[in-house]
Chain A
Amino acid sequence: MRVNRLIRFRGRKKKLGLIDLDITSLLDILVIMLVFLLKSYNSSGVVLNVPKGVTLPISESQAINSPGVIVQVSPTTIWVDDNVIFDINKSRTSAVYDQGRKRIIPLFNELVKKRKIINQVQKSSPEAKKFSGIVNLIVDKSIRYSYLKKLLHTCAEAGFIKYKFIVLNESSAL
Chain B
Amino acid sequence: MYRIPSRRTKKHELARPNLIPILDGVFIFIFFLLMSASFIKIFEVPSDVPIISDSPPPKNDKPPLGLTIRVQESSIEVLTGIPGKIIKRIGKVNSKNYDLASLHDFLVKIKSKNINEYTAILEPEIDIDYQQIIDIMDSVRMLKNTDEALYRKDKDGQEVRIKDLFSNLLFGNIQS
Contact = CB atoms under 8 A, between A and B. Distances in A.
Interface string A46-58: 0010100000111
A130 interface: no
A27 B24 CA distance: 12
B44 interface: yes
Given A27-B19, A40-B38, A156-B174, A144 B128 contact: yes
Given A145-B124, A148-B133, A56 B42 contact: yes
Contact of A167 (B19, B27, B34, B134): B134
Given A41-B36, A142-B130, A149-B174, A161 B44 contact: no
Interface residues of A, number: 50
Contacts of A153: 174-175
Interface stretch (B46-54, B74-82, B110-118, B151-159): B46-54
Contacts, number: 142
A65 B43 contact: yes
A64 B43 contact: yes
B168 to A, nearest CB: 12
Question: Looking at B129, B138, B174, B175, which has the most chain A CB atoms within 10 Å of its CB?
Answer: B174
B152 to A, nearest CB: 20
B106 interface: no
Contact of B130 (A48, A57, A161, A164): A57
Contacts of A62: 43
A161 B48 contact: yes
Nearest to A141: B131
B43 A63 contact: yes
Given A65-B42, A163-B48, A167-B44, A42 B37 contact: yes
A171 B128 contact: no
Main secondary structure of the interface of B (DSSP, over half): mixed
B173 interface: yes
A166 B52 CA distance: 26
A53 B31 CA distance: 30
Contacts of A61: 43-45, 138, 141-142
B41 to A, nearest CB: 4
A38 interface: yes
Contacts of A166: 42-44
Interface stretch (A29-37, A85-93, A111-119): A29-37
Contacts of A122: none
Interface string B17-43: 001000100110110011011111111
Given A34-B26, A61-B138, A165-B134, A40 B39 contact: yes
- The 9 lowest CB-CB distance pairs between A and B, nearest first, are A37-B33, A169-B41, A42-B38, A161-B49, A141-B131, A164-B44, A172-B41, A165-B45, A57-B134
Interface of A: 23, 27, 30, 33-34, 37-38, 40-42, 45, 48, 50, 56-66, 102, 136, 139-146, 148-149, 152-153, 156, 161-169, 171-172
